[in-house]
Amino acid sequence: FTPDRIRNFSIIAHVDHGKSTLADRLLEVTGAIAYGGQAQYLDKLQVERERGITVKAQTVSLVHRHCGADYLLNLIDTPGHVDFSYEVSRSLSACQGALLLVDASQGVQAQTVANFFLAFEQELAIVPVLNKIDMESAEPQRVAQQMKDAFDIEPSECLKVSAKTGLGLQTVLEAVVQRIPPPQGNPTGDLRMLLFDAYHDEYRGVVCLVEVLDGRVQKGEKITSVATGTNYEVLEVGLLAPNPTPTGQLLTGQVGYMLVGMKDTRSARVGDTWHHQRRPVPALPGFKPAKSMVFAGIFPLSAAGFEQLHAAMDRLTLNDASVTVRRENSNALGAGFRCGFLGLLHMDVFRQRLEQEHGASVIVTAPTVPCRVVLPSGEELELQNPAEFPLNQKIAEVWEPTVAATVVTPNEFIGAIMQLCQDRRGEMQEHAVLGTGRTLLKYHLPLAELGGDFYDELKSISSGYASFDYEEAEYRKADLQRLDILINTEAVDALARIVHRDKAQAVGRRLCTKLRELMDRQQFEVVLQASAGGKIVARETLRAFRKNVLAKCYGGDISRKRKLLEKQKEGKKRMRRLGSVDVAQEVFHELMKAG
Ligand code: GDP
Ligand code: MG
């Protein structure tokens, strides 16, 4: 395939608008997978299937016949969720065009807007596609008008398809060939190759996904990474069709995979430029590394589970270099890890994978955003753990990360949404009409305020109709302080969190009440307190109680008695002794789940 017969493109869409279904259908009609094959080939991970979201981008090559000539179409999948917008932009950098897929009954949504601008900024050719026109509730005219209002796309440019029934699929393939430009590279120049993704395969080690921008690369050649200076030998190279299929070489404009004997995905610097050894080329403008925006402590549910958790963490991070991990010791939860994630969903998916794929039972502490604390001396700290946050008198300034958020909503919910954003310390930036009956709102919000129940609230006040997306914005100064929970005057590090001064008391009260409800009574009185920035703001008392399982046992059945005693011992194992108080590990688990 010469470059003029190659098209590299992505599908971008709001979640559930049919991206995976369309991708699968394209694979089917081009013969890459058998019809009725495994549903949603591109969503490989179990969590992805369950949640219907794509976490890791996947790439496939298709062959399409157009006017008697074969074209190589490389479909580079992108994750569908805001937490992974970093992966979206790097997938897009390997493309010349994108299919902008919109559900014809749901219309333009927040992620449609965010993804459109990611593609637009990279100057990609955009092919608008209205999907699900088989549905009775589809309103392609109305949605075409929204596309005009939001993106200045002419209604006549919009394709109308059903990924489910296959209607209009040929028009999609034709548009890919006709409207998306071929890659511009120099086939006879020195090798210049973009590394745009990498994943770990149990049997093959690290599989690198690359696009050849200039020249060609062959099996057996020696290549060099500009970012790390490391030399590698190309052990295998080929196309993803959709399974790795060796071809011996990749030519200018082609997208494929490469094995170079790499052991750890962390050596694969996404955005890196590779060239032939001793034939250096100018590096591409690399991507800035993904930044952790949410941190949380992850601990085994019982201390005995630490080794298993450790092993599970090692395996999972092999394949997800965007998770940062360091060891942490907690007075309440023992040995564990402090992990950094791209966002809350990323964190949730990671936890789910730990439990599902690796059988680890874990306690995840309340998530925290990386705040910058300026000390009176002028020294600046970036904190990943609320327990390390200094008390008020030791702080000159606190800066917190903020986001630029997009909300798309039917007009009737605007009032309630504005109220919600205001309660979350938001500032409105823009208010724009989108076709009839819909509005696009832009807000500046502290990232920390998106935690907890923000999404649930937004969905509930809009009956599920509002959609939301955000991108990282600058750090801003904020009046934040550390909130500690004290059990008999001893602070429990795993329960510390960072809160805004105005909300400290409410959060402190809620946590104390919840903790009192969850904790077993002890043989003495236990005082539960919340302290914000060093001042007590809430207090609860847990009255004394003599715990005796045998009291419940009438009749003196000896085997029953023994069983209960063993059970009590069993219960003890999972206890953490905080000062003089025993707290069941499950209490933390329940408290974290309660938010
Ligand atoms: P993604 O989140 O964008 O990858 O969306 P999916 O491909 O997972 O599709 C979301 C849901 O919409 C699934 O239940 C699909 O079966 C359904 N769906 C996708 N395309 C169509 C279509 O053209 N018509 C109808 N009726 N349903 C569709
Ligand atoms: Mg999907």
Assign 245 a pLDDT band (cuts: 50, 70, 90): confident
pLDDT for 52-95, tens place per residue?
Answer: 444 454 678 888 888 888 899 998 877 655 566 666 677 788 88
Residue 77 annotated as binding site: yes
DSSP bridge partners of 373: 381, 398
Provide the token pair at 352.
């789910």
**pLDDT computed for residue 53 by the predictor:** 46
d(CA 106, CA 93): 28
132 pocket-lining for ligand 1 (C-beta < 6 Å): yes
Is the pLDDT at 586 greater than 80? The verdict is no
15 pocket-lining for ligand 1 (C-beta < 6 Å): yes
Give one DSSP letter per residue of 112-138, joined into a string.
HHHHHHHHHHTT-EEEEEEE-TTSTT-
Residue 456 annotated as binding site: no
CB within 8 Å of 434: residues ≥ 6 apart: 108, 146, 149, 150, 408, 440
- Quick one: what percent of the chain has pLDDT higher than 70? 86
Residue 133 annotated as binding site: yes
pLDDT for 469-484, tens place per residue?
Answer: 888 889 999 999 999 9
**pLDDT computed for residue 37 by the predictor:** 42
Phi, psi of 220 (to 5 degrees): 90, -15
**pLDDT computed for residue 339 by the predictor:** 94
What ligand is nearest to the CA atom of residue 23? 1
Helix (H, G, I), strand (E, B) or coil at 379: coil
Q: Which H/E stretch holds residue 535? A: strand 535-542
Residue 572 annotated as binding site: no
Are the C-beta atoms of residues 194 and 250 closer than 8 Å to each other?
no
d(CA 175, CA 98): 11
pTM to 2 decimal places: 0.75
Residue 78 annotated as binding site: yes
Q: Which H/E stretch holds residue 516? A: helix 504-518
162 pocket-lining for ligand 1 (C-beta < 6 Å): yes
pLDDT for 274-312, tens place per residue?
Answer: 999 988 887 776 566 667 889 999 999 877 889 999 998
Provide the token pair at 297.
């402590």
Is the pLDDT at 495 greater than 60? The verdict is yes
**pLDDT computed for residue 62 by the predictor:** 86
d(CA 65, CA 352): 42
**pLDDT computed for residue 52 by the predictor:** 46
**pLDDT computed for residue 39 by the predictor:** 45
Give one DSSP letter per residue of 454-497, joined into a string.
HHHHHHHHTTT--EEEEEEEEEEE--EEEEEEEETTEE-GGG-E
134 pocket-lining for ligand 1 (C-beta < 6 Å): yes
**pLDDT computed for residue 358 by the predictor:** 82
pLDDT for 188-231, tens place per residue?
Answer: 999 999 988 888 887 888 889 899 999 999 999 999 998 888 99
252 pocket-lining for ligand 1 (C-beta < 6 Å): no
User: Chain-wide mean pLDDT for the chain?
Assistant: 84
CA of 303 to the centre of ligand 1 (A): 43
**pLDDT computed for residue 524 by the predictor:** 79
Find where tokens 């310390």 sit.
425
The closest residue, in CA terms, to atom 18 on ligand 1 is 18
Within 10 angstroms of residue 276's Cβ, the number of other Cβ atoms is 20
CB within 8 Å of 415: residues ≥ 6 apart: none
pLDDT for 506-561, tens place per residue?
Answer: 999 999 999 888 887 777 788 999 999 889 999 999 887 655 555 554 555 666 66
163 pocket-lining for ligand 1 (C-beta < 6 Å): yes
**pLDDT computed for residue 36 by the predictor:** 42
Provide the token pair at 133.
């026109």
What ligand is nearest to the CA atom of residue 109? 1
Q: How far is CA 250 from the centre of its chain?
A: 31
